[in-house]
């Protein structure tokens, strides 16, 4: 027998491609190394790093079906919110600080409410106006502008907290107030006693004062000398310059300091300060500069006689130096006169024509009719030999 018949085309035809079942494809999808002999012409072999990214549809469904636990998702959301909040606060704080410094160094002085008294009248403000501020007498409240203020007696000091009485006390006032040619009722007093008289310094003894010169402008001594002379003429009170001091201002200024000044009432302290020493000088939130703070401390004898015995005057050195550069010495001297008005007993009045208006007005740089009327009354107090 001959060999079996063979198909002459059997060897000429290629072998049928090897087919891979579906289950094998899924298995391959999870295996980064494809089986030998599987060579598709449509795409090259996947490299190892691509093969590692292959995921089956069942894997994706498992990821959606099992998300991260809710505490983790909550902490992630809170973290994102805190990061956004921190960025917003940082931007706002930087902007506010930058605006505050620009306002301060450019001398943008705007009307605003002052501490320790009624709010200033917005209608009285004007571009480039000055903002004054006063420290009220301890235990006393500012009165409304009136020629007959209500009685607000300060809290008296204990008997052990005062020097030996009658020091430098004369039998009659040492001076007389300057006659007031044009009187006005536009004045107010810081405090009054039970006897209805305003709290004032004893006109029968001199008022001593000392100066802390640090931070003062070059014209500082001249400005203080001229302002002291103005208030002395208006009240008749006699002032004596005791020279320099190293005493720093304090919110609770002590009227009796025997270790520093001996057995007498402490002299009025005049100090030039910076915003770093006195934060109340600058309000960055509203862009205002406070030029000065002034006031005196009163004592009472038997609960009726109210007498000022010591005080302090804080002056914003950098702001006044800038004011002198822009407007000259007269405006700066007006600031000091205003604060000395508080020291001797004048309160604020809501009248832009008066120097004791809480907001300075251009052109009003010295005492006016209402101011002079009030100062003359303060200079006519009674002698207090027992104080």
- β-partners of residue 273 are 316
Query: How confident is the model at residue 371, as a pLDDT?
Result: 96
What whole-number percentage of the chain has pLDDT above 70?
63
HEC secondary structure over 2-38 = CCCCCCCCCCCCCCCCCCCCHHHHHHHHCCCCCCCCC
- pLDDT band, residue 21 (cuts 50/70/90): low
pLDDT band at 129 (very low <50, low <70, confident <90, very high): very low
pLDDT for residue 47: 44
Residue pLDDT, tens place only, 285-332: 555 678 999 999 988 876 667 899 999 999 999 999 999 999 999 999
CB atoms within 10 A of CB 136: 19
Q: pLDDT at position 386, please?
A: 84
Is the pLDDT score of 106 beyond 60? no
Statement: residue 264 has pLDDT above 80 = yes
Q: Which residues contact 248 (CB under 8 A, 6 or more apart)?
A: 212, 271, 277
Match 């960025």 to its residue by tokens: 87
Report pLDDT for 39.
Answer: 40
> Looking at the predicted structure, is the pLDDT value of residue 110 above 80?
no
Query: How many residues comprise the chain?
Result: 387
Residue 286 tokens read as 């509203």
The three-point CA angle 168-170-171 to 5° equals 155
Of the candidates 113, 114, 115, 118, which has an alpha carbon nearest to the alpha carbon of residue 143?
A: 118
Q: Are 223 and 328 in contact (CB under 8 A)?
A: no
Mean pLDDT value across residues 171-176? 94
Please indicate, yes or no, whether the overall pTM of this predicted structure exceeds 0.75.
no
Query: Cα(312)–Cα(245) distance, rounded to whole angstroms?
Result: 13
Distance CA 29, CA 255 (A): 93
When pLDDT is averaged across residues 270-296 and rounded to a whole number, the result is 83
Highest mean pLDDT among 87-91, 109-113, 143-147, 194-198: 87-91
Helix 329-344 and helix 369-378: axis angle, to 10°? 40
Determine which helix (DSSP H) or strand (DSSP E) holds 94, and give its type and residue range.
helix 70-105
The tens digit of pLDDT for each residue in 149-159 reads 343 444 544 44
Gap between the Cα atoms of 286 and 80, Å rounded: 33
Measured CA to CA, the distance from residue 268 to residue 118 in angstroms comes to 25
What confidence tens digit (pLDDT) does each residue in 198-253 have? 999 999 999 999 999 999 999 999 999 999 999 999 999 999 999 999 999 988 88
d(CA 136, CA 282): 19
pLDDT at 133 over 60: no
């Amino acid at each position: 027998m001959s060999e079996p018949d063979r198909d002459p085309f059997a060897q000429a035809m290629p072998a049928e491609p090897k087919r891979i079942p579906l289950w094998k494809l899924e298995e391959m999808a999870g295996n980064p190394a494809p089986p030998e002999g599987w060579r598709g012409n449509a795409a090259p072999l996947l490299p190892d790093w691509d093969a590692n990214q292959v995921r089956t549809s069942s894997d994706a469904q498992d990821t959606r079906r099992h998300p991260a636990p809710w505490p983790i998702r909550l902490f992630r959301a809170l973290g994102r919110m805190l990061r956004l909040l921190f960025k917003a606060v940082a931007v706002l704080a930087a902007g506010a600080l930058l605006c505050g410094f620009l306002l301060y160094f450019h001398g943008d002085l705007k009307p605003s409410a002052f501490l320790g008294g009624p709010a200033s009248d917005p209608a009285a403000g004007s571009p480039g106006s000055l903002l004054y501020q006063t420290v009220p007498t301890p235990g006393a409240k500012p009165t409304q502008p009136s020629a007959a203020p209500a009685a607000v007696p300060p809290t008296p000091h204990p008997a052990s907290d005062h020097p030996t009485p009658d020091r430098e006390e004369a039998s009659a006032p040492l001076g007389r107030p300057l006659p007031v040619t044009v009187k006005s009722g536009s004045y107010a007093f810081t405090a009054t006693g039970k006897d209805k008289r305003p709290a004032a310094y004893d006109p029968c003894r001199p008022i001593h004062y000392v100066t802390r010169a640090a931070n003062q402008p070059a014209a500082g001594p001249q400005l203080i000398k001229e302002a002291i002379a103005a208030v002395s003429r208006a009240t008749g009170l006699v002032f004596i310059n005791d020279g320099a001091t190293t005493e720093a201002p304090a919110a609770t200024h002590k009227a009796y300091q025997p270790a520093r000044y001996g057995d007498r009432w402490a002299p009025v302290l005049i100090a030039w300060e910076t915003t770093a020493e006195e934060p109340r000088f600058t309000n960055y939130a509203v862009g205002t500069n406070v030029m000065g703070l002034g006031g005196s401390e009163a004592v009472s004898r038997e609960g009726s006689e109210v007498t000022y015995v010591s005080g302090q005057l804080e002056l914003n050195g950098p702001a006044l130096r800038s004011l002198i550069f822009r407007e000259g010495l007269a405006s700066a001297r007006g600031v000091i006169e205003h604060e000395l008005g508080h020291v001797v007993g004048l309160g604020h009045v809501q009248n832009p024509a008066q120097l004791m208006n809480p907001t300075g007005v251009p052109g009003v740089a010295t005492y006016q009719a209402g101011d002079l009327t009030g100062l003359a009354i303060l200079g006519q107090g009674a002698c207090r030999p027992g104080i």
